Amino acid sequence: MFVKMQPMVRSAALAAFILAFAATAQAPTSLKEAYRGDFAIGAAINTAQITGQDRRGDAIVEAQFNSISPENALKWENVHPAPGVYAFDLPDQYVAFGEKHHMFIVGHCLVWHNQVPAWVFRDDIGNFVDRETLLKRMHDHIFTVVGRYKGRIQSWDVVNEALNDDGTLRQSPWLKIIGEDYIAKAFQYAHEADPQAQLTYNDYSLENGAKRNGVIALIAKLKAQGITVTSVGLQGHDGLTWPSVEDEDTTLSAFAKLGVKVAITELDIDVLPPATRQQSAEVSLKVQQDPKLNPYADGLPQSVQQQLAERYAGLFGVYLKHRDVVTRVTLWGVTDGDSWRNDWPVKGRTSHPLLFDRSGQPKPAFQAVTRVAATAKTTN
């Protein structure tokens, strides 16, 4: 029937046909299948999931994801709680879980100012240690932890959240005691401990220009010094309107231009009323409970489910556009009930930021995310 149509009418008809087909295209049954060939799809898993106590959560992880991150198990305070004391039981189970299911295994995180015990920075009488002592502690920690999982953990978040929102270096004990080169040293030690591992600088709110520019300058400087930095981790603790799709696009383009890969490392989308004016994932923020800040304690209304679905679809559309640069998209948690956002920055809220609800059912956002990939494949 196209034969009798004018060219304009023909292409309009073709476009309408493609759109109609895309709308009805069978969404793939799993996230990892939907994005196979584009990028890995990961989830951060918690203690109950690592140890097999959360069977429902594990079933979702096994069916849907081909990468895992440890939500807390490999943070310094858990894996190295006291001088010379390492607790590898949980991390060993974490890595075994990933290997059993042939997953891309992420290590999170080596050098951070949070969840690091006070003793790391102090001497026997409570004073700050000197630069050489702290460098030695950092070196030993990285060599012991990265070394144990050499060739098994494929990617490490080496330095986490070293920058302030304005792009300057955060005044952490690492910076105060060692000086600016603590970041270069951490990457150098990690590379020496496992030369094959991918090494990431991981931070939040890099869609904001000032902070992004700070990271770009930092990575450019490290690269000029010959330090191995494989990727930048955009944490992706997002909201319904921030960052815009354009901000995300600009950010991915900027890091592509810098010559590093990008991993979306901790994605979740907040639907609750903002408790602060800052766009941040700063864990030290605390805001008082207030029922007005917790409107969806009995469930998420359909209209907001839909908004969340469209928002997820918009972001995954940008990730797909940059699939030559984006290596992995990791959701920070498995179901809504698992999310850190239920307790941050207000304790005890009912948050709905992920793709699976509290009973482990896929949400409209899940369908939207799989459909974006299916549609892209149909139209390519």
Q: Which of residues 321-340 bind ligand G3I (CB under 6 A)?
A: 340
Of 212 and 371, CB closest to ligand G3I:
212
C-alpha of 123 from chain center: 34
Say which of 71, 161, 207, 248 is annotated catalytic.
161
Of 150 and 347, CB closest to ligand G3I:
347
Q: Which of residues 40-59 bind ligand G3I (CB under 6 A)?
A: none
156 binds ligand G3I (CB under 6 A): no
310 among known catalytic residues: no
CB of 21 to ligand G3I, least distance (A): 39
Q: Which of residues 79-118 bind ligand G3I (CB under 6 A)?
A: 114-115
Q: Which residue among 207, 266, 270, 336 contacts ligand G3I (CB under 6 A)?
A: 266
Query: What is the per-residue DSSP string for 175-203?
Result: HHHH-TTHHHHHHHHHHHH-TTSEEEEEE
43: part of which helix (H) or strand (E)? strand 40-45
Q: Are 29 and 53 in contact (CB under 8 A)?
A: no
Of 151 and 348, CB closest to ligand G3I:
348
Kindly state the DSSP code that residue 82 receives in the 8-state scheme: B
Q: Which residue among 235, 307, 342, 351 contacts ligand G3I (CB under 6 A)?
A: 235
Of 72 and 250, CB closest to ligand G3I:
72
Task: Characterize the bridge pairing of strands 237-239 and 231-234.
Answer: unpaired
Whether the bond into 243 is cis, omega within 30 of 0: yes
From residue 307, alpha-carbon distances to 255, 272, 310, 353 in Å are 28, 12, 5, 12
CB of 270 to ligand G3I, least distance (A): 12
Q: Report which of 341, 338, 329, 375 is spatially closest to residue 356, judged by C-alpha positions.
A: 338
Residue 74 has a CB neighbour count (10 Å cut-off) of 25
CB of 48 to ligand G3I, least distance (A): 10
283 binds ligand G3I (CB under 6 A): yes
Of 73 and 325, CB closest to ligand G3I:
73
Q: Considering Cα of 142, then 77, then 235, then 337, what sign does the dihedral take?
A: positive
207 among known catalytic residues: no
Residue nearest to ligand G3I (CB): 340
Q: Active-site residue numbers? A: 161, 266
Q: Binding residues for ligand G3I, per CB under 6 A?
A: 71-72, 114-115, 160, 235, 266, 281, 283, 340
